[in-house]
Amino acid sequence: MKLTGILLGAKPVSGSVETDVTLRTYGQHMDEVSRLKDKVLDIEIKPHREKRSTKANALCWEICSQIGRAMNPPISKEEVYRRAIRDVGIYIQVCIRKGDYTDASSLDSISNETL
């Protein structure tokens, strides 16, 4: 179960290395949460981050297309994106041999030099 909410407080448990944490979640989760009472849980708390919308994703690819067309010689939107990712910082390039994947349709635009 993944929830979104706010941290209301945290206080140390007297005489222990444990911490009591109070959260407020958004939405109706009382039944689900009640079933987890007194069970050991894996808990991760991190700041909320909105996911990129479909509209924002489409805009990103449109901008990559326009940049690619403006280059001399023109390059594909995928190559613009790859170069931008490389320029941002740490990345890992993964080489995939033909036959090591099940769907090659997403790899059609990758040049042989990249593979």
What is the rounded CA–CA span in Å between residue 78 and residue 65? Answer: 8
Contact 78, 110 (CB under 8 A): yes
| Whole-Å CA distances, 100 to 51, 93, 103, 104, 108 | 30, 16, 9, 10, 15
pLDDT for residue 98: 78
- pLDDT tier, 109 (very low <50, low <70, confident <90, very high otherwise): low
The structure's pTM equals 0.43
pLDDT for residue 103: 61
Residue type, 71: M
pLDDT tens readout for residues 3-62 = 899 999 999 999 889 999 999 998 888 899 999 999 999 999 999 888 878 898 899 999
Contact 85, 91 (CB under 8 A): yes
Token readout for 105 is 């349709």
